[in-house]
C-alpha cells in the first residue's frame, strides 16, 4: 500500500525516439489507475518504468516516500501481472506462486499459508499440483494474479492481463480483478487498450497517445468532459460523432452551420460562454461532437427540440437491447465511411428504418462537445483558460465590465475598443469590483466560481469553495491581454524567464585537512555556466543531470534554465546585466535588463539602474535539455 | 458433380500414397549408405584373418581376438583414458562457457554487443588450424606442449564462439519470464540458474554433445601438440599410426575393433541424453 509520484518522467531511446513525454501524476494510496491508449502510446513503457524493467530517461519516480529511479525491480515492493502470464513452465502452480516467497526466504509454513490463501481467493486450489501447460488461459492468468498477490506488494502492476482471454472470460476476470482490488486494499495500476476495461475498472484513467498524456480523470468525467478530440473519440462505444461546422454569434444566440450539409441549428449563447469569441465568427471551422445517445430519432423529442437536422439513413446494426442507426447529414453521403457528416444514432425504439429514408433527428445540444480543428483541444473546457470581455481604452483608462481602471505605465495602449482576455487564475477575491457568485464547482481539485457582474458572466479559479452571494474581486493587470481586430496589442507579462546555459565539470586543486595538516588535493566540482557567469551546482542536481544526459554528453549539451521573474537575486556577482528600464505595473515593478542571454525581466524590490549582477535561485529553477526538449529538473 | 468430387478425393489419396512410397525408398537408400560403413567396420573387427583387404566380404573365421589384442598389445587403453579425460573436461568447461555467453548475449544489452557478436561469428568461420603454429609456440613458451592440460586449453579457448545456436534458443524463451522472476526477487544469476537453464534442456544437451564429440575425434591439434610422446596420445592420433604402410597389415583389424570401441561413448551419451530432447518444455508459460 503506497502512493506513487511521477514527475516529469521521460523515456527516450538511444535513437532519439521519445516513448514517454513529460508524464506527471500523483497516485493516491489504494487507487485503481488505468493507463489506456492505442498501441505505441507509451502506456506499457510507463508501467515498465514503474516496475523497474525499463530505465527512466529523465524525471523522478517515487513509491511511498522513496525515489526509486535506480532501485532494482525486486526491491521496489511491486508485483506485476503480464499480458502473456509469464508463468514458469517447469514449475507447478504451487511452485510458481511460491517462487517469490521462497526467494525472499520466508518460513515454509508462512509460504504454504499464503499460497493456499491466494489459491482459495482465486479458486485455483485444485490446480496447485498442475503445470501451467495443463491449464486454460483464464486459469493461467489466475495463477499469474496469485503469484502477484501472495507477495502482498505495495503496488500491483497489471500489463494488459486480459487481452489474451476470450470475451466472456474477460468480463468475468474484469469483475474478479475489481473484487481483488477491493479486497487487497492495494494501489493498482492497470494497462489496457480496451476502453471498456478502463471505464469499468479504474477509479481514475490516464488516456495516452504518442507518448503524451491526453487527460487524467475519473471514468465519468472522461466520458462527459473529454478534453480533446482524441479522448472524445477513444472513450465511449460507439465512437462519438464528429461533424465539422462553423459558429456564428447573433445577439444572444449562436448559429451552428454544419459543413458539407445544409444542416443549420441555433443554440443560446449561454451554452458557449466558455468559448473564445474568435470561434464565433462564422468562419472558423470547429469539430462538433455528439455521442450516439445524444442524437434522437424519437418523434416526440424531435417535435420539442430546437436543434433538428435531417439525416439520410443508410443502414443499421442490431445489438439486441438497442439499435445503432447509421446515416449521413449530407444527403449524398453513404453513411458507411467515417466522415465529418456520417452519424451514428442509438435508437431504443423498434422503429424500422429503410435505407435511403430521410428522417428528422433531435440533437441534445446540452451535451455537445466542440474542438479546435487544428489543435483538437476542447473549445468548451470545464475550466476555461480565459474570460473574454469587451473593453475600451481612452486616455490610459481601461473600461471593462462596470469598472474604469487607470492603466499602469507598463501598459501603454492606444485608445479604442477591443477585447480583453483575463486568465481565470488571474482573478482573486478581495477589494475591487462587485460581483455575484452564481455557483462554485470543484473540478479536479480546483474550484471554479461563476461570477455575475451586471449581465456579464466571469469565471475564476479560486483557492477554496465559495458560497453563492455577493463578493468583491480584482484581477492581476499584468496577466491580461487586449485584442483589437483579432491582433494582440497588449500581451501579458511572461512570468517565466528562459536562460541558455551549460553544465560544466571543473577540476581544481583544493585543500583538505589530513591528520591535522592541510594538504593540497585534486578535486572535481560541477558548475552551471549562464551568460558567462558560473554557479556551483549541488550534488543531487549534478547527479541527475549526469544520469539523464550521460557522462559523455552532460558537459557538452545545451541547457535551458527556467525560472520565475520572482526567483532572481541581485548581488555582487552573477550574470552581468544592464538595466534598460523599469516596467511598472502599479502594485509591482520589474526591471528589464539586457544580459548575454538576451533580455531578461526580474522582479524589482527596489529601483535598480546601471550595471547589476543577477543570479537565479537554483532551488526553484527548472532545467531543460534544449535539443531533446526534456525537462530534467 | 458428386462423382467428380469422389474421384478428386480418391486421386488425392493415391498421390499421397505414391509420394510416401518415394520418400520411404529415398530414406531407406540414405540409411543404407550411412549404416553400411559401420556395418563393414563391425564385421572387419571380428575377422580372424589379418591384412587390410580381402577378396571376400564376410570373414572366413569369426573372432574376438582383435578386441583382446587391442587392450593387451597396444597402448589403446591409455589413449582412450586420455581422450575421455580431455573430452569430459572440455565438455564441462565449454558447456558452461557457451551457456553463459549465450545468455549474456541474448538477455543483456551493452555497448558493442552486436559488433562483438559479429566478430565472434566471423572469427569462428576461420578453420582452427590456421592458428595452429602460433598456438604451438605460445604453448611451448608456457611449457604446455605434450600436455593434456594444454590440449584442453586449446579446445576450450574458443568455446564462447559457439554461442550462436544456443543464443538463438535463449531468444525463443520469452523475456517476460526473466522479468517476472526479477520482480519476484531474483537476481540475473538466479534467473539464469532457476528459470532459464531448466527450460533450456534441449540446447544444453546439444551443447554437451557437440562439446564432447569435437575433442573425441579431433586429430590435427592433438597430433601436433603430442608429437613424440605416445603416452599422451589421444585415440585419433594413436590409431592413425596403425594405418601407416608398415603397420596396416598387422593392425587393420585391431584398428577396426578400436573404431567400434571409440564409437561406444558417443552412442551411449546420445542414447542417454536423447530423452531430454523433448519438445514443448516451454509449453504453457506464456500465451502461445
**What residues of chain B lie within 8 A of the CB of A90, using their CB?**
198-199, 281
Q: How far is A79 from chain B (nearest CA, A)?
A: 6
pTM of the prediction? Answer: 0.82
| Alpha-carbon torsion, ordered A121, A76, B108, A57, to 10 deg | 120
* B5: contact with A, CB 8 A cutoff: no
Contact A53 B198 (CB under 8 A): no
Same domain, A53 and A183: yes
List, for residues A306-357, the tens digit of each pLDDT value: 889 999 999 888 888 888 999 998 888 777 777 788 999 998 777 788 888 8
**What residues of chain B lie within 8 A of the CB of A164, using their CB?**
287
Same domain, A176 and A75: yes
**Sheet order of strands, A241-250 included:** A264-268, A253-258, A241-250, A281-290, A369-372
Same domain, A442 and A528: no
- Structural domain includes residue A121: yes
Contact B179 A73 (CB under 8 A): yes
Nearest chain A residue to B195 by CA: give it: A88
Same domain, A48 and A151: yes
List, for residues B200-229, the tens digit of each pLDDT value: 888 888 888 888 888 888 888 888 888 878
Pairing verdict, β A295-296 and A308-318: unpaired
Report the SS3 class of residue A112.
Answer: helix
For the segment(s) B76-282, the CATH number from 3.30.230.70, 3.30.70.20, 1.10.3720.10, 3.30.70.380 is 1.10.3720.10
> Of B202, B282, B285, B288, which to mutate for an interface test with A (greatest number of A Cβ within 10 Å)?
B285
Contact A86 B198 (CB under 8 A): no
CB atoms within 10 A of CB A216: 21
CATH number of residue A485's parent domain: 2.40.50.140
- Structural domain includes residue A380: no
* A553: contact with B, CB 8 A cutoff: no
Same domain, A358 and A403: no
* A377: contact with B, CB 8 A cutoff: no
List, for residues A465-515, the tens digit of each pLDDT value: 888 888 888 888 888 888 888 788 888 888 888 888 888 888 888 777 777
DSSP A192-206: ES-HHHHHHH-SEEE
Residue B247 pLDDT > 90, yes or no?
A: no
- Structural domain includes residue A73: yes
What's residue B283's pLDDT?
44
Contact B185 A104 (CB under 8 A): yes
Going from the first residue of chain A to its last (633 residues), give the mean pLDDT of each consecutive group of 10, the final group possibly shorter. Answer: 87 85 91 92 93 89 88 90 90 92 92 91 88 88 89 90 84 87 89 90 93 92 92 90 91 88 88 84 91 90 89 88 88 79 85 86 91 92 86 84 81 84 86 84 87 84 86 85 83 86 85 79 85 85 79 84 88 87 84 87 83 87 84 83
Report the SS3 class of residue B103.
Answer: helix
List, for residues B28-76, the tens digit of each pLDDT value: 999 999 999 999 999 989 988 888 777 888 888 888 888 998 888 888 8
- Structural domain includes residue A281: yes
* A138: contact with B, CB 8 A cutoff: no
Residue B280 pLDDT > 50, yes or no?
A: no
What's the CA gap between B268 and B212, in Å, rounded? 12
Q: How far is B97 from chain A (nearest CA, A)?
A: 24
- Structural domain includes residue A404: yes
**What residues of chain B, 71 to 110, have a C-beta less than 8 Å from chain A?**
none
**What residues of chain B lie within 8 A of the CB of A134, using their CB?**
284
* A84: contact with B, CB 8 A cutoff: yes
What's residue A536's pLDDT?
86
**How would you write B234-284 as a 3-class SS string?**
CHHHHHHHCCCCCCHHHHHHHHHHHHHHHHHHHHHHHHHHHCCCCCCCCCC
Q: Could you tell me the pLDDT band of residue B79, with boundaries at 50, 70 and 90? A: very high
Q: Say which of B180, B190, B281 has its CB closest to residue A86.
A: B180
Contact A53 B183 (CB under 8 A): yes
Contact B176 A89 (CB under 8 A): no
| Domain that residue A104 falls in | 4-224
- Structural domain includes residue A79: yes
**What residues of chain B lie within 8 A of the CB of A104, using their CB?**
185
**How would you write A379-408 as a 3-class SS string?**
CCCCCCCEEEEEEEEECCEEEECCEEEECC
Contact A103 B186 (CB under 8 A): yes
Contact A99 B287 (CB under 8 A): no
Same domain, A60 and A208: yes
Q: Say which of B181, B199, B287 has its CB closest to residue A90.
A: B199
The mean pLDDT value for B172-185 works out to 91
Contact A51 B284 (CB under 8 A): no
Same domain, A471 and A525: no
* A135: contact with B, CB 8 A cutoff: yes
Nearest chain B residue to A97 by CA: give it: B184
Same domain, A309 and A438: no
Residue B282 pLDDT > 50, yes or no?
A: no
- Going from N- to C-terminal start, the domains of chain B cover 76-282
Mean pLDDT for all residues in chain A: 87
* B176: contact with A, CB 8 A cutoff: yes
- The answer to whether the bond into A238 is cis (omega within 30° of 0) is yes
**What residues of chain B lie within 8 A of the CB of A51, using their CB?**
179, 183
Same domain, A161 and A242: no
Q: How far is B193 from chain A (nearest CA, A)?
A: 13
Pairing verdict, β A78-81 and A155-159: parallel
- Structural domain includes residue A25: yes
CATH number of residue A21's parent domain: 3.40.50.300
* B172: contact with A, CB 8 A cutoff: no
Residue B288 pLDDT > 60, yes or no?
A: no
> Of A14, A99, A169, which to mutate for an interface test with B (greatest number of B Cβ within 10 Å)?
A99
Contact B285 A86 (CB under 8 A): yes
Q: Say which of B179, B185, B285 has its CB closest to residue A89.
A: B285
What's residue A515's pLDDT?
77
Same domain, A519 and A589: yes
Q: Could you tell me the pLDDT band of residue B9, with boundaries at 50, 70 and 90? A: low
| CA proximity to B238, closest of B217, B253, B208 | B217
Q: How far is A146 from chain B (nearest CA, A)?
A: 12
DSSP state of A129: T
Residue B257 pLDDT > 80, yes or no?
A: yes
Which residues make Cβ contacts (< 8 Å) with residue A46, sequence separation at least 6? Answer: A6, A9, A11, A20, A23, A35, A208
> Of B112, B185, B192, which to mutate for an interface test with A (greatest number of A Cβ within 10 Å)?
B185
Q: How far is A40 from chain B (nearest CA, A)?
A: 18
What's residue B5's pLDDT?
60
List, for residues A182-192, the tens digit of each pLDDT value: 888 899 999 99
On whether the CB atoms of residues B178 and B196 are closer than 8 A, the answer is: yes
Q: Could you tell me the pLDDT band of residue B111, with boundaries at 50, 70 and 90? A: confident
Q: Say which of A53, A103, A133 has its CB closest to residue B190.
A: A103
Q: How far is B280 from chain A (nearest CA, A)?
A: 9
What's residue A176's pLDDT?
86
> Of A75, A77, A84, which to mutate for an interface test with B (greatest number of B Cβ within 10 Å)?
A84
Residue B287 pLDDT > 80, yes or no?
A: no
What's residue A1's pLDDT?
58
Q: Decide which of A372, A395, A418 is a domain's last residue.
A: A372
Same domain, A168 and A238: no
**What residues of chain A, 247 to 306, have a C-beta less than 8 Å from chain B?**
none
Q: Say which of A74, A131, A137 has its CB closest to residue B182.
A: A74
Q: Decide which of A188, A206, A224 is a domain's last residue.
A: A224
Question: In the numeric block, which cell numbers belong to residue A154?
Answer: 505495495
Q: Could you tell me the pLDDT band of residue B3, with boundaries at 50, 70 and 90? A: low
**What residues of chain A lie within 8 A of the CB of B197, using their CB?**
none
Nearest chain A residue to B196 by CA: give it: A88
What's the CA gap between A212 and A374, in Å, rounded? 17
Question: In the numeric block, which cell numbers belong to residue B211?
Answer: 562439446
Q: Decide which of A372, A396, A411 is a domain's last residue.
A: A372
What's the CA gap between A53 and A72, in Å, rounded? 8
**What residues of chain B lie within 8 A of the CB of A114, using their CB?**
none
Question: In the numeric block, which cell numbers belong to residue A568?
Answer: 532572481
What's the CA gap between A303 and A372, in Å, rounded? 31
State the total domains in chain A.
Answer: 4
Amino acid at each position: 500500500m503506497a502512493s506513487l509520484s511521477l514527475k516529469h518522467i521521460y523515456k527516450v531511446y538511444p535513437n532519439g525516439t521519445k516513448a514517454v513525454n513529460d508524464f506527471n501524476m500523483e497516485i493516491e494510496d489504494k487507487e485503481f489507475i488505468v493507463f489506456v491508449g492505442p498501441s505505441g502510446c507509451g502506456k506499457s513503457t510507463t508501467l515498465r518504468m514503474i516496475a523497474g524493467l525499463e530505465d527512466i530517461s529523465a524525471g523522478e519516480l517515487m513509491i511511498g516516500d522513496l525515489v526509486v529511479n535506480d532501485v532494482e525491480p525486486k526491491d521496489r515492493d511491486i508485483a506485476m501481472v503480464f499480458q502473456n502470464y509469464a508463468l514458469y513452465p517447469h514449475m507447478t502452480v504451487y511452485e510458481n506462486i511460491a517462487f517469490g516467497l521462497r526467494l525472499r526466504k520466508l518460513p515454509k509454513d508462512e509460504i504454504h499459508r499464503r499460497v493456499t490463501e491466494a489459491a482459495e481467493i482465486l479458486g485455483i486450489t485444485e490446480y496447485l499440483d498442475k503445470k501451467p501447460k495443463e491449464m486454460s488461459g483464464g486459469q493461467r492468468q489466475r495463477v499469474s494474479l496469485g503469484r502477484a498477490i501472495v507477495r502482498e506488494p505495495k503496488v500491483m502492476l497489471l500489463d494488459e492481463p486480459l487481452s489474451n482471454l476470450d470475451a466472456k472470460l474477460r468480463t468475468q476476470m474484469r469483475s474478479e480483478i475489481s473484487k481483488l482490488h477491493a479486497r487487497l486494499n492495494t494501489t493498482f495500476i492497470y494497462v489496457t487498450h480496451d476502453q471498456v476495461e478502463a471505464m469499468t475498472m479504474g477509479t481514475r484513467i490516464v488516456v495516452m497517445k504518442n507518448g503524451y498524456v491526453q487527460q487524467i480523470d475519473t471514468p465519468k468525467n472522461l466520458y462527459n468532459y473529454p478534453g480533446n478530440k482524441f479522448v472524445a473519440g477513444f472513450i465511449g462505444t460507439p465512437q462519438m460523432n464528429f461533424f465539422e461546422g462553423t459558429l456564428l454569434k447573433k445577439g444572444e444566440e449562436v448559429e451552428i452551420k454544419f459543413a458539407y450539409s445544409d444542416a443549420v441549428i441555433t443554440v443560446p449563447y449561454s451554452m458557449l460562454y466558455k468559448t473564445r469569441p474568435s470561434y464565433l465568427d462564422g468562419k472558423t471551422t470547429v469539430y462538433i461532437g455528439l455521442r450516439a445517445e445524444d442524437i434522437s430519432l424519437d418523434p416526440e423529442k424531435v417535435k420539442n427540440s430546437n436543434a433538428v437536422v435531417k439525416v439520410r439513413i443508410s443502414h443499421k446494426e442490431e445489438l439486441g437491447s438497442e439499435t445503432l442507426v447509421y446515416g449521413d447529414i449530407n444527403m449524398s453521403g453513404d453513411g458507411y465511411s467515417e466522415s465529418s457528416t456520417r452519424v451514428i444514432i442509438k435508437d431504443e425504439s423498434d422503429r424500422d428504418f429503410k435505407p435511403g429514408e430521410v428522417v428528422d433527428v433531435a440533437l441534445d445540444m446540452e451535451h455537445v462537445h466542440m474542438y479546435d480543428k487544428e489543435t483538437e483541444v476542447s473549445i468548451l473546457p470545464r475550466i476555461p483558460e480565459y474570460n473574454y470581455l469587451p473593453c475600451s481604452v481612452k486616455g490610459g483608462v481601461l473600461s471593462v465590465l462596470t469598472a474604469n481602471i487607470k492603466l499602469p505605465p507598463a501598459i501603454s495602449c492606444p485608445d479604442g475598443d477591443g477585447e480583453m482576455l483575463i486568465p481565470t487564475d488571474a482573478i482573486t477575491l478581495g477589494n475591487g469590483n462587485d460581483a455575484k457568485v452564481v455557483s462554485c464547482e470543484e473540478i479536479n481539485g480546483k474550484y471554479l466560481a461563476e461570477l455575475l457582474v451586471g449581465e456579464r458572466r466571469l469565471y475564476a479559479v479560486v483557492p477554496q469553495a465559495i458560497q453563492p452571494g455577493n463578493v468583491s474581486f480584482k484581477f492581476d493587470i499584468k496577466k491580461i491581454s487586449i485584442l483589437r481586430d483579432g491582433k494582440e496589442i497588449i500581451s501579458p507579462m511572461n512570468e517565466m524567464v528562459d536562460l541558455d546555459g551549460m553544465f560544466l565539470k571543473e577540476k581544481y586543486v583544493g585543500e583538505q585537512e589530513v591528520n591535522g595538516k592541510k594538504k593540497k588535493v585534486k578535486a572535481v566540482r560541477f558548475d552551471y555556466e549562464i551568460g558567462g557567469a558560473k554557479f556551483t551546482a549541488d550534488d543531487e542536481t549534478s547527479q541527475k543531470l549526469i544520469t539523464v544526459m550521460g557522462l559523455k554528453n552532460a558537459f557538452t549539451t545545451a541547457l535551458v534554465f527556467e525560472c520565475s521573474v520572482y526567483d532572481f537575486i541581485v548581488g555582487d556577482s552573477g550574470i552581468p546585466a544592464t538595466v534598460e528600464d523599469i516596467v511598472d505595473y502599479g502594485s509591482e515593478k520589474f526591471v528589464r535588463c539586457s544580459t548575454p542571454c538576451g533580455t531578461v525581466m526580474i522582479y524589482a524590490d527596489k529601483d535598480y539602474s546601471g550595471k547589476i549582477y543577477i543570479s537565479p535561485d537554483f532551488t526553484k529553477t527548472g532545467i531543460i535539455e534544449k535539443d531533446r526538449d526534456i525537462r530534467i529538473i | 458433380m458428386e462423382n467428380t468430387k469422389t474421384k478428386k478425393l480418391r486421386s488425392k489419396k493415391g498421390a499421397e500414397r505414391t509420394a510416401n512410397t518415394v520418400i520411404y525408398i529415398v530414406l531407406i537408400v540414405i540409411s543404407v549408405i550411412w549404416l553400411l560403413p559401420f556395418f563393414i567396420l563391425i564385421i572387419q573387427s571380428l575377422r580372424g584373418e589379418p591384412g587390410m583387404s580381402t577378396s571376400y566380404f564376410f570373414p572366413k573365421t569369426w573372432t574376438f581376438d582383435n578386441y583382446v589384442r587391442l587392450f593387451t598389445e597396444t597402448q589403446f587403453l591409455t589413449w582412450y583414458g586420455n581422450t575421455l579425460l580431455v573430452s569430459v573436461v572440455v565438455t564441462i568447461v565449454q558447456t558452461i562457457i557457451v551457456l553463459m555467453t549465450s545468455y549474456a548475449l541474448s538477455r543483456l544489452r551493452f555497448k558493442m554487443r552486436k559488433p562483438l557478436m559479429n566478430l565472434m561469428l566471423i572469427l569462428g568461420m576461420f578453420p582452427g588450424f590456421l592458428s595452429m603454429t602460433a598456438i604451438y609456440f605460445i604453448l611451448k613458451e608456457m611449457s604446455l606442449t605434450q600436455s593434456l592440460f594444454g590440449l584442453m586449453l586449446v579446445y576450450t579457448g574458443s568455446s564462447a564462439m559457439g554461442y550462436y545456436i544456443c543464443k538463438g534458443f535463449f531468444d525463443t524463451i520469452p523475456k517476460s519470464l526473466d522479468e517476472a522472476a526479477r520482480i519476484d526477487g531474483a537476481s540475473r544469476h538466479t534467473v539464469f540458474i532457476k528459470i532459464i537453464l531448466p527450460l533450456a534442456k534441449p540446447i544444453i544437451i546439444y551443447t554437451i554433445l557437440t562439446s564432447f564429440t569435437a575433442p573425441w575425434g579431433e586429430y590435427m591439434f592433438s597430433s601436433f601438440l603430442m608429437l613424440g610422446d605416445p603416452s599422451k596420445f589421444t585415440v585419433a592420433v594413436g590409431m592413425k599410426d596403425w594405418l601407416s604402410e608398415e603397420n596396416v597389415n598387422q593392425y587393420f583389424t585391431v584398428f577396426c575393433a578400436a573404431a567400434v570401441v571409440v564409437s561406444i561413448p558417443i552412442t551411449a551419451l546420445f542414447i542417454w541424453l536423447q530423452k531430454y530432447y523433448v519438445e514443448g518444455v516451454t509449453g504453457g508459460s506464456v500465451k502461445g
